[in-house]
Amino acid sequence: MVANLKLVPVVYTVEQQILVDKFNALPFKSKTGDFWKNTHKGEYADVKEAIKEHYLKSQNYTCPYCKQYIVVGHLGVWDAEHIIAKDENPQFMFEPKNLCVSCKDCNGSKSNKEVLVKPSRTRRKFPEDPDDYKFCHPHFHDYAEHIRIIEVAGFYMPLTEKGIALIEICGLLRFVLKCGGYNMVDNSVGNVVVQLGNKLMEAQTPAEQVYLMTLIGSVVEKGLESAALAGLDAMMA
């Protein structure tokens, strides 16, 4: 049984909560994604830093998407991350369950990509049902139920549709490419895994997904030869 590592939402101090309430009380149209980055950067700097410090500790210096463990003193290597993008839904800018910290690569890939099953720019209530989300959510889902990490190959094996969506949204196939370059994995194996991973993203049926996942597991664990026996040649044609 994998320990439940869901995040602990940030609790604001009295002073921080006053600023958060001030933002929340703004007219809907005055709330914008660049609020704490540009227009009110100085005023909200402490709130932003408190958010980063809280989640870094709560997450044990681990990115909630790629699970890399990065311990450095400089907060700048981490991004305060809005799980529902703040440019799309600025109304959830300070919602504790919409916040975490992530590594810059995951945040860069995720950018403003849609994570809601039913996107709405005018939604008032923060979506709290795990099934409101397309991917596995750092606060609402148990990562290990959705993705298995095969560390030696730098590969993220999706176990569910939400796992596939997370790999796609955060660009987690990049680790296979990087490992190939460092010879941690035979290059040909890395390339095949990337190609199979791409096919997995396009798979139309659950059966196709299961078949591709089996092939990927076989390639990663036993090499290309045994995978060929499982029908790899036909698949790559």
- Report in angstroms how near the CB of residue 132 gets to Zn ion at its nearest: 22
- Cβ nearer to Zn ion, comparing 68 with 120: 68
Q: Contact residues for Zn ion (CB under 5 A)? A: 63, 65-66, 103, 106
- Report in angstroms how near the CB of residue 77 gets to Zn ion at its nearest: 11
- Report in angstroms how near the CB of residue 109 gets to Zn ion at its nearest: 9
User: What is the biggest distance separating any 2 CA atoms in the chain, rounded to whole angstroms?
Assistant: 64
- Cβ nearer to Zn ion, comparing 83 with 106: 106
- Cβ nearer to Zn ion, comparing 171 with 217: 171
- Cβ nearer to Zn ion, comparing 40 with 113: 113
Which amino acid is residue 41, in one-letter code? K
- Report in angstroms how near the CB of residue 107 gets to Zn ion at its nearest: 8
Task: Give the angle subtended at the CA of 106 by the CAs of 101 and 110, to the nearest 5°.
Answer: 100
- Cβ nearer to Zn ion, comparing 149 with 203: 149
Phi-psi region of 85 (alpha: psi -120 to 50; beta: other; left: phi over 0): beta
Which amino acid is residue 9, in one-letter code? P
Among 100, 103, 110, 10, which Cα is nearest to 63's?
A: 103
- Report in angstroms how near the CB of residue 40 gets to Zn ion at its nearest: 27
- Report in angstroms how near the CB of residue 104 gets to Zn ion at its nearest: 8
- Cβ nearer to Zn ion, comparing 19 with 147: 147
